[in-house]
Structure 1
Amino acid sequence: MKKIIYGSFIGIFICLLTACDTDNKGTVYSPVTEEVGFLTKNVKRELTADQNSFEILVTRSGKKGELTMPFTVTDPSGLLVISETVTFKDGEASAKIQISNIQKLQIGPEYTVTLALEAENITVGGFKETNIVLNRTYTFESIGIGKFTSEFFGESWNQEVQKAKEANVYKLPDCYVEGYSIIFNLDDAGNVVEFKTQQTGYEHADYGMVSAKLASWKREGKMITFGLEFTVSVGTFGVTNEILEMPN
């Protein structure tokens, strides 16, 4: 009788130990000796208003076996959705971290989010941490080809004009220099209500980047005359008339 009671006690004790061990189990990550890293320390992404996600690439030094790497997220906005682990599949040397819920961000302001890998070994040339600057922009659509006449440069050319789907914001892509756009806002009556100082893309040989600042404007039918002051870091070239003929 005592043996049965004693044996039962041992069995219960073992079961209790097993239950306690099960209760304390959580997600377990194997110690990582493999090198991992982000490709760049700083990233700037311009996202159109209709985009809701994008991906950041992470690399590792090997390809063998599946590897799950945790990382920390610092998102001051508190609006983005980002998983806190990234998984490399067997045979793959890179993986992607998805950042979503972008449409919760306002159009215009820049937002910064930081991702930091919880890894001791970083790939050669890679980075443990990456800072991502997000800028949500308008979705522009072409409304036709107009004509642009620049007194400052003494030239005229055919100019594509684009309009944002979300607002009365207009863009002249590659206006003075390829890769640099001129952007301005009109009200419902077609009057100029905003023209922020912006880089033209033209680099003066002695004074560097030339920017355009609105001094005045006038509209007559399809013709918009911008009185623009062209400036550099050391001063100004004065105000000249830059004329846009809007598309039909």
Structure 2
Amino acid sequence: MSHYLQLAGRRAVVTAGSKGVGRAVVETLHQAGAQVVTCSRTAPERLPDGIHFVEADLGAPEGCHKLAAAATDLLGGVDILVSVLGGSNAPAGGFAALDDEQWRRELDLNLMPAVRLDRALLPGMIERGSGVVIHVTSIQRLLPLPESTTAYAAAKAALSTYSKSLSKEVSPKGVRVVRVSPGWVETEASVALAERVAEGAGVDYEGGKQIIMQSLGGIPLGRPAKPTEVAYLIAFLSSPLAGSITGAEYVIDGGTTPTA
């Protein structure tokens, strides 16, 4: 794979690399020969040798500054920036349950880390006339769940719009900007959710997964995506093989999102 993707020696920063999609991206780029710096709020278990880890909370400006500075020091520059970080801690209860603090937290987790890291690391890419920025959005920007993910979905929609605007600005300067929009991915957190749903409904794990898929309106493929599948898409889009792709959003959701 390393020869095919032509990523040997490329310098990459991946956020939220301790588990889930982020970890899969870190390992995939590393296996393809890239030098990788990643981060999370707590140190992960057993990252492969050769991957640089920075402990940083990207929900605060200081964490973004710390990661950007460390990446510059460790790598001397960045060729690939993958903003994976995202999620929701908002309570259920619809719009009325979302006070200003909840909205701020969702934006600080799902939008601002990408904005801040781009602001810190894009100038170096522009100066060199090359680079790739990948923003991981979500199909919930089109399919929000009003009971619990309104603020998360709105923040991801903002990230997608920002990403499109950024692509128009920096693509003429040699930097590609691409979005990857996953649906339900079977990460550690998703497995735990399915187990809780299954326990509450008195069914097994597969039954819990079916309940979640039904709540999403169905997944025609019949299963969630695997973290490695999302990572392979990101690795391709990061590579010279995708050299004419910019400003686009790639959905990987097993067919969940309906089309007109």
TM-score between both structures, scaled by the size of structure 1: 0.26
- Give the structure with the higher percent strand: 1
TM-score between both structures, scaled by the size of structure 2: 0.25
Q: Which has more radius of gyration?
A: 1
- Give the structure with the higher percent helix: 2
